[in-house]
Amino acid sequence: MEAEQSKSKGWCWWLLVMIIAAVVITQTSLLLWRNFDKKDSGNFHQAHGPINDTYANAFSIAMQFFDVQKSGKLVNNKIAWRKDSGLEDGKEEKLDLSKGLYDAGDHMKFGFPMAFTATILSWAILEYGQQMQRVKELEHAQESLKWITDYLINAHPSENVLYIQVGDAMLDHDCWERPEDMKERRPLTQVNTSYPGTDVAAETAAAMASASLVFKSIDSTYSQNLLKHAKELFAFADAFRGLYSKSIIRVQDYYNSSGYGDELLWAAAWLYRATGEESFLSYVTKRNGDSFANWGSPSWFSWDNKLAGTQVLLSRVSFLSSKAIPEEENLNLQLYRKTAEIFLCSLLPDSPTATSSRTRGGLIWVTEWDTNQYAMASAFLAVIYSDYMFNSQTPTIYCSGKLYEPMDLREFAISQLEYVLGNNPMKMSYLVGYGNVFPQYVHHRGASIPLNAKTGCKDGFKWLNSTDVNPNIVVGALVGGPFLNETYNDLRNNSKQGEPTTYNSALLVGVLSGMLSTP
């Protein structure tokens, strides 16, 4: 009996030690979460892991596409075959819209996808800025972001006016020339109270709000200006509701919007993260959430549909925020998180609810137009969510009877990234400049025309139709990607597969930044 009592006392003592240790660990974790929430900087659990040199190399290459696409007076130009261009953009309305990025292989400045590019780049910096710093690319990322936000600020000259396009797409696509040689008219297009554009105004608000966090500790005045514009644009978007592609019919052939509810929620979620103001949380969790969130029915994340991104972004609140959330709002936050997990479960290849929207080689494949966008968007959300799980010590997600760990989400993201970088049936990299085999006939005007060519609008088409490889390498471009049968036709006229976009690059940069170090 005495021996049993002694053993029982010893066991109790060890139990007490374990409980104390658990409490210490829990308090330490909570402190880390609070610091993470307060500072809103890089992802702490990966900050000191070993750097993956392969992904660091790919990251540095991918970052260069933002330099390739710059309009305006180039500062510290890193691209030998690019010079100043678009210097007169905006002059007809006495605005300086010379900055910003050309959208893809043409010379249009489409505000809707450009703002989405900025939002994604901001998100990547906020989550993985420390990793970017370790590979000496953080300032490059911040500078690329500011090149866009400088443009967006100037494109919003008053509360209820936003210029959403520079150039006429029909005129622009009727030419094949270098941006430095453009001579055609570049008219401006705006949304306003008479011709509303809730979707594009809200996406621009999301870009401004997220970027305000990036620059908060760097330039507080600039950050506050971004936040001011974000709030004004959100108010404009919400008060004057309408699809921009219904207000402005001519944009339907290029960036036709399928709805604006997702952008309103996306913008409000970013404004909540930027400000902590209760009104923005109420916006996404109450009536507008009921109207637009589509809880329980996931959708693909892209420049046109922000719901999956909103769900992951709002999941961060329940994972990492130390603030007390009212019960009703917290219940709806859990619906966002649950819908995010339904989406993520569909990505995992051996999940009971795995999507069939993928190639035999495993790449997420949604459409023959720019399928790499969807693969990288899915991978980006998966790696962010896995890190939210790591950081909050959440061990699993539940997928219709099976449990999956954060590393399962990370491994999915790695599979998409590795496919794009060359582990695919074509044995080629879809990231131009990476690896030994990558596209040589990228659908990109500046890349296809020699630097010393003396061609203009019409006679420049001989370079589009040339059988020679591009004389200029569009380093960092992520092209559209393979067809469902995993083939890729490297032809300059094949814009479905061979045209890069800035938002492709932003999503790829986001995935790579999350992979720079290991958990």
- pLDDT tens, residue by residue, 242-298: 999 999 999 998 999 999 999 999 999 999 999 999 999 999 999 999 999 999 999
Catalytic residues: 443
Are the beta carbons of 162 and 111 closer than 8 angstroms? yes
Q: Which residue has the higher pLDDT, 12 or 401?
A: 401
Which amino acid belongs to residue 100? Answer: G
| Three-class secondary structure of residue 397 per DSSP | strand
The three-class DSSP label of residue 313 is helix
pLDDT at 4 over 60: no
- Total domain count, the chain: 2
What is the per-residue pLDDT across 60-98, written as a single tens digit (0 to 9) for each?
A: 999 999 999 999 999 999 999 999 999 999 999 999 999
Is 499 within 8 Å of 480 (Cβ atoms)?
A: yes
Task: Name the DSSP letter for residue 458.
Answer: T
What pLDDT shows up at residue 324? 79
Question: CB-hemisphere CA count at 13 Å for 367?
Answer: 8
For the chain, the helix, strand and coil percentages under 3-state DSSP, each to the nearest 5? 55, 5, 40
Both 383 and 406 in one domain: the answer is: yes
103 and 31: one domain? no
Q: Strand ranges (DSSP E) for 345-465?
A: 397-399, 402-404
Residues 150 and 15 both lie in one domain: no
- Higher-confidence residue of 327 and 260: namely 260
Residues 374, 253 within the same domain: yes
224, 247: one domain? yes
Domain residues for the domain of 392 are: 40-515
Question: Residues 13, 139: one domain?
Answer: no
- pLDDT tens per residue across span 463-490: 999 999 999 999 999 999 999 999 999 9
In this predicted structure, the answer to whether residue 29 has a pLDDT above a threshold of 50 is no
Residue pair 244/204 in contact (Cβ under 8 Å)? The answer is no
Q: Rounded CA gap, 316 and 325, in Å?
A: 13
Tell me: do 373 and 234 sit in the same domain: yes
Q: For 356, phi and psi rounded to 5 degrees? A: -90, 0
pLDDT of the residue at 48: 65
Q: Residues 287, 300: contact at Cβ < 8 Å? A: no
H or E, element range at 163: strand 162-166
Q: Are residues 173 and 26 in the same domain?
A: no
Instruction: Classify the C-alpha dihedral 282-284-289-295 as positive or negative.
Output: negative
83 CB-near residues (< 8 Å, 6+ apart):
74, 77, 180
Amino acid 327: pLDDT = 85
pLDDT digits (tens, 9 = 90+) for 193-202: 999 999 999 9
Same domain for 399 and 432, yes or no, is yes
> Do 162 and 18 belong together in one domain?
no
Summarised one tens digit per residue, pLDDT across range 31-47 is 333 333 334 544 444 55
Q: State pLDDT tens for residues 440-466.
A: 999 999 999 999 998 889 999 999 999
Torsional sign, CA 311, 315, 321, 323? positive
Question: Can you give the CATH number for the domain in which 48 is found?
Answer: 1.50.10.10
pTM: 0.91
Residues 26 and 92 in one domain: no
Q: Same structural domain for residues 241 and 97?
A: yes
What digits encode the pLDDT tens for the residues 98-133?
A: 999 999 999 999 999 999 999 999 999 999 999 999
